[in-house]
Amino acid sequence: MLAIAMVCKPKLLIADEPTTALDVTVQKEMLRLMKELQHEFDVSILFITHDLGVVAEMCDRVNVMYAGQVVESTTLEDLFDDPRHPYTEGLLAAIPDPRAKGARLSAIPGAVPAPWDWPTTCRFQDRCSHAEPGRCDAMPIPLREATGGRAVRCVRDGELTLKGLGG
Ligand code: SF4
């Protein structure tokens, strides 16, 4: 599939979950090959994945999406060290910590609403531990530019201290 995709020498390669169902050895080989192709053909890669380990391996810039919207746009380093959206914080908290053997795994409560149930206000509000009635459910939340070349879709951005992988 990669060979077929590269034969026209594209400037942009869109890789949608390319490592799904691969075992870790094949996945590692696939990521190595994609990096090689990226350099050899000078191609940008838009990588779509649920695997934050793959994100850490492959990405320079990350757009976190929830219910069809970008909720945070940031660099790889800031994503893991300094998340600014509560959904990003929840995703990082859900990464199993091998040092916390026997501890209960963290999960974001609830489930992603179906598209026909998406509220016109914050789509994450029913699952967000930082939700504030009267603000989060009052109006549509735009994706706002923030400092450091970032963008965040949250009315409480700048008020919250969220936990990254560093604690
Ligand atoms: S707008 Fe409110 S509910 Fe939505 S992510 Fe931010 S704090 Fe949570």
Expressed in angstroms, the distance from the first to the final Cα of the chain is: 40
In the chain, % of residues over pLDDT 70: 99
pTM for the predicted model, two decimal places: 0.92
Taking residues 75-97, report their average pLDDT: 95
98 C-alpha to ligand 1 centroid (Å)? 30
32 C-alpha to ligand 1 centroid (Å)? 37
| Mean pLDDT rounded to a whole number for the chain | 93
What local confidence, expressed as pLDDT, does residue 167 receive? 62
Under DSSP, is residue 35 helix (H, G, I), strand (E, B) or coil? helix
Query: What's the gap between Cα 33 and its chain centre?
Result: 23
The domain segmentation of the chain, as residue ranges, is 10-59, 60-95+109-167
**Ligand 1 pocket at CB < 6 A:** 86, 122, 124-125, 128, 130-132, 136, 141, 154-156
How many Å apart are CA 8 and CA 21, to the nearest integer? 27
Taking residues 118-124, report their average pLDDT: 97
- Residue whose tokens read 């699952």: 127
Which stretch of 5-9, 64-68, 72-76, 112-116 has the lowest confidence by average pLDDT?
Answer: 5-9
Q: Whose CA is nearest to atom 6 of ligand 1?
A: 154
